[in-house]
Every structure is written in structure tokens, then in C-alpha cells.
């Protein structure tokens, strides 16, 4: 029979035991200081079948974990998160205000005409002679019996001077009322109310009397039976 070679297990076990004992004698600082595998192997005594080269290869083959590159400040300080840019809407320019032209003052021109703007009256004026016996119609008349500086105009309350009658009855007649009158020569003047009075047909001489300053008088009827006469006196202001 062939002699069997001794089993390698005792030798291998011995080598491991020797290696463990040798490693126990190596300071821990040698590992943490980054000593090379060759330097560590030089401190381990040689064992049959296990030399420094074998230990060096064994240590070098172990995988190493790279150190983490961060500090405590990195953990304490949050990193800014990039946000999308805000959508900015450009303001819409408002159209420039268009200047409105100032209203034009009315122009009064003509002959034998009367305007009472606030009452909507614009009428031609007919002559009414002082000797006339025919009753007046629906027009506005200038009475020939009036004295100097007194343009005397009259009309029926149901006709041309209805707005004047209504203004008196409703209390809208004021001293702010103005009258524009163009005479037979085309001269235009403006008059403003000074006063008004209610009288009877047989007591109106004061109404058509001469005046000391240019004036204008309006007359119309008032009452259920037209039994009164409204006399409105105006003075020239333009």
C-alpha cells in the first residue's frame, strides 16, 4: 500500500492560529493610520505556506468604504430649493382720456324774437298797437302802450306763455330766470327777473309805466277764469 501523505488540515489550522496571534499583537492604530498591507504583513511572523506576500494580498483584497465627505454644518443648513420663476403679467396701459370740448354758449340773433331758455320758450314777437281793438291770438305780442325803457311782452297762459304760467303756479319762478330779446333793429339784450306780482286787469297801470332803466315786462293770465294778471319785471343785464 502507498503511504498517504499527512493531512494538510493540521498545518492549515496551525497557520491560522499563528496568523491570529500575530494580528493580535499589531496595534489598532496601525490599521486606523492607513498603514499599507505590506507593512502590516511584515509584523506577522512567517508560517509555512503563509508569507508576507500572502498576507499582503489578503489584506489588500478587502474592500474599503470611502469616507463620507460632509460636516455637521451640512446637516444643519438646508439646501435652497430652486423654484420656478414667477409669471409676471405686464400692466395694460389705460387709454388716455380724451379732453371733451367745452360746451358752446348759445348764440342769440334775429329780429323781434324772445328766448326764455330755462322755460324752453323761443318765439317770434308781433306788434300789438295801442289802438288795436282785436283780441290777441296765440302769439307773443309787444304792446305799443308801454312807456319808455319798458319792453312789454304778453301772451296767453294756454298758448305761448304756458311755461311761464306753470313755473309761477308750481313755485319754480325765481330771480335767476333770464330772458333774451331781439328788437326790430336786431339788437339783442339779456334781462334778469327783479320781481313779480299778481294783479287784476283794471289795476295794471304800474306794469306798463315808463321805467328809469332799461327793463322788460312779461304778462300772462292766472286763475281758473283767467281773472288775474301775472306781471314779471326784469332789468337789463347784458
The pTM (predicted TM-score) of the whole model is 0.59
Mean pLDDT of all residues belonging to the chain: 79
Distance CA 121, CA 135 (A): 22
Q: What does the pLDDT read at residue 90?
A: 72
Domain span(s) for CATH 2.40.260.10 in the chain: 113-236
Cα-based angle 221, 227, 231 (whole degrees, multiple of 5): 40
pLDDT of 40 strictly over 50: no
* Average pLDDT value for residue range 170-185: 97
Give the range among 24-28, 122-126, 212-216, 219-223 with minimum mean pLDDT. 24-28
Distance CA 138, CA 90 (A): 68
pLDDT of 43 strictly over 90: no
Give the range among 48-52, 153-157, 187-191 with minimum mean pLDDT. 48-52
Q: In CATH, which superfamily holds the domain spanning 113-236?
A: Sortase (2.40.260.10)
Write the DSSP string, 136-148: P-SSEEEETT--T
pLDDT of 233 strictly over 60: yes
Amino acid at each position: 500500500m502507498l503511504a498517504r501523505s499527512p493531512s494538510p488540515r493540521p498545518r492549515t489550522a496551525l497557520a491560522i492560529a499563528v496568523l491570529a496571534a500575530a494580528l493580535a499583537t499589531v496595534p489598532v492604530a496601525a490599521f486606523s493610520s492607513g498603514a499599507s498591507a505590506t507593512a502590516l504583513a511584515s509584523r506577522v511572523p512567517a508560517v509555512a505556506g503563509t508569507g508576507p506576500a500572502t498576507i499582503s494580498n489578503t489584506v489588500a483584497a478587502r474592500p474599503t468604504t470611502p469616507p463620507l465627505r460632509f460636516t455637521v454644518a451640512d446637516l444643519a443648513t438646508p439646501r435652497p430649493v430652486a423654484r420656478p420663476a414667477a409669471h409676471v403679467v405686464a400692466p395694460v396701459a389705460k387709454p388716455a382720456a380724451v379732453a371733451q370740448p367745452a360746451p358752446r354758449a348759445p348764440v342769440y340773433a334775429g329780429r323781434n324774437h324772445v328766448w326764455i331758455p330755462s322755460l324752453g320758450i323761443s318765439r317770434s314777437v308781433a306788434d300789438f298797437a295801442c289802438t288795436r281793438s282785436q283780441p290777441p291770438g296765440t302769439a307773443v305780442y309787444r304792446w305799443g302802450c308801454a312807456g319808455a325803457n319798458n319792453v312789454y311782452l304778453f301772451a296767453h297762459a294756454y298758448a305761448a306763455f304756458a311755461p311761464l304760467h306753470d313755473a309761477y303756479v308750481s313755485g319754480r319762478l325765481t330771480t335767476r330766470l333770464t330772458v333774451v330779446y331781439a328788437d326790430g333793429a336786431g339788437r339783442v339784450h339779456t334781462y334778469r327777473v327783479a320781481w313779480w306780482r299778481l294783479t287784476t286787469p283794471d289795476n295794471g297801470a304800474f306794469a306798463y309805466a315808463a321805467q328809469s332803466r332799461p327793463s322788460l315786462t312779461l304778462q300772462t293770465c292766472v286763475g281758473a277764469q283767467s281773472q288775474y294778471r301775472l306781471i314779471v319785471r326784469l332789468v337789463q343785464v347784458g
